[in-house]
Amino acid sequence: MPNETTYDAIVVGAGPAGARTAAVLAQRGLHVAIVERNPEPGYPTHCTGIVSAECFKHYELPESLIIQPIQSFVLRSPSGRGATVQRKAIQAYVLDRPAMDRLFVERAMSAGAELITSTNVADITWTGTGIEAQADRAGTSFTISAHAAVIATGFGGKLPRKAGLDAPGDLLSGCQVVVEATGVDELEVMTGQAYGEGGFGWLVPWKPGLALTGLMTRRGTMNYLRDQVARLQAEGRIGTVREAYRCRAIPIGASSHTVANGVVGVGDAIGLVKPTSGGGIYFGLLSADLAAPILADAIWAGDLSASRLAAYEIEWRNLLDAEIKLGKALRALIEQLPDSLVEQMHRLLGVPGLKRLLVREAPSFDWHSGPLISFLAKLQQKTDEATPGVG
């Protein structure tokens, strides 16, 4: 049980966004506690652990975290036709997600942050000069006081609203299992109505003799995933399921209020996720890097008003808002596409000029808005050339 100390800041949630925020705050000389409801950071995990090569480099992640580099992937059409998309350089990595979470927490602790595990924060209130967090550990309630709180609780739960933020209104659900598999050596992305409304499935090479297969869609995720597992088993691609199904909600679109008096939100808790793929690790880490210096300066200045902390909201919006809005619009478009059209679009990958264009000029793994617009214009031109007289 933590003592009566008033912390400079408490960070609720020991995921990547929370741990990174805590590390930067502690590096700035602040007395920080990370409060995590699970007994161990990183567990249980629901996540595939794919991050871009850019994210891997930016956060100086060690090679020991890499399970698989990703330089190519197989895109499957609704009928099951596969097309391999190969890039010149490694685009992303499948990482050991629990080990990555532990690494970010260890970095925060080396910088001086304290980790309080098995402790749920049920409420946060602003006292006028700081915050009070109502916490619970093994049935015992207690209060943790601090100058400020960081909400890094991932998506869902009531805490962001209780703390004065709001939650993204729209969501997807993702579900994944670990399966036995020997012949899976490339990431596969599967498309079509069989994966639910606007959904897609994946099969990812993982640890020796194992693969991850999962699915992300609007609703009925677990049922679609069961069908997907049965299909892959019937095709002889995978063996038995090794671990329980894990499902989690994924926000589509960012919150509109991400700061309050004494409080900032980071990561999934405020919807900083790519709405197309559901990937949120990198955006969460970037939000931590924007939030922590502004929060630290506000603590040193003794001014934790929402109006001062609003500088953080301006910064994350400058960096991420266009990406998230474009991703949301793309998702809305994809959700309208019938299988027949997706199948036709997939066939365009058989046209050599178009495939080269896709490989050479497709948007980067993380940043789509600028490159995507010029890419779509070129794609339109190539498609017109490949299909004269159509339309």
Ligand X SMILES: Cc1cc2nc3c(=O)[nH]c(=O)nc-3n(C[C@H](O)[C@H](O)[C@H](O)COP(=O)(O)OP(=O)(O)OC[C@H]3O[C@@H](n4cnc5c(N)ncnc54)[C@H](O)[C@@H]3O)c2cc1C
**Interface contacts to ligand X, rule CB under 6 A:** 12-18, 35-38, 46-51, 120-121, 152-154, 157, 159, 174-176, 214, 248, 250, 267-269, 273, 278-281, 284
Cβ closest to ligand X, residue 18 vs residue 130: 18
- The sign of the torsion formed by the CA atoms of 39, 18, 171, 201 equals negative
In angstroms, give the least distance from the CB of 386 to ligand X: 33
User: Tokens 């059209």 appear where?
Assistant: 341
Report the residue number, 114 or 339, with the smaller CB distance to ligand X.
114
What's the one-letter identity of residue 216? M
Q: Which residue has the tokens 């399921």?
A: 241
- Residue 51 or 190 with smaller CB distance to ligand X: 51
Is 217:195 a contact under the CB 8 Å cutoff? yes
What is the 3-class SS of 154-204, one letter each residue?
A: CCCCCHHHHCCCCCCCEEEEEEEEEEECCCCCCEEEEECHHHCCCCEEEEE
DSSP string, 344-377: HHHHGGGSHHHHHHHHHHSPPSS--HHHHHHHHH
Distance, in Å, from the CA atom of 129 to the CA atom of 247, rounded to the nearest integer, reads 39
Q: Which is nearer to ligand X, 126 or 365 (CB)?
A: 365
Shortest separation between residue 18's beta carbon and ligand X, angstroms: 5
Directed axis angle between helix 369-386 and helix 352-361, to 10°?
A: 170
| Closer residue to ligand X (CB): 273 or 304 | 273
CB of 347 to ligand X, least distance (A): 28
Shortest separation between residue 235's beta carbon and ligand X, angstroms: 22
Farthest CA pair distance, the chain: 76
Q: Give the nearest distance from C-beta 311 to ligand X in angstroms.
A: 21
Of the pair 327, 349, the CB lying nearest ligand X is at: 327
Instruction: Give me the least distance between CB of 125 and ligand X, in Å please.
Output: 14
**Closest C-alpha among 293, 253, 269, 312 to residue 12:** 269
Angle formed by the axes of helices 281-301 and 16-27, nearest 10° = 30
Nearer to ligand X, 130 or 284 (CB): 284
Strands 32-35 and 120-126, bridge-based pairing: unpaired
Helix axis angle, 97-110 to 16-27, nearest 10°: 20
Cα separation, 58 vs 283, whole angstroms: 12
End-to-end Cα spacing for the chain: 68
CB-nearer residue toward ligand X: 134 or 383: 134
> Which of 108/354 has CB closer to ligand X?
108
Supply the minimum distance, in Å, between the C-beta of residue 359 and ligand X.
22
- Least spacing, CB of residue 277 vs ligand X, in Å: 7
Minimum CB–partner distance for residue 169 and ligand X (Å): 17
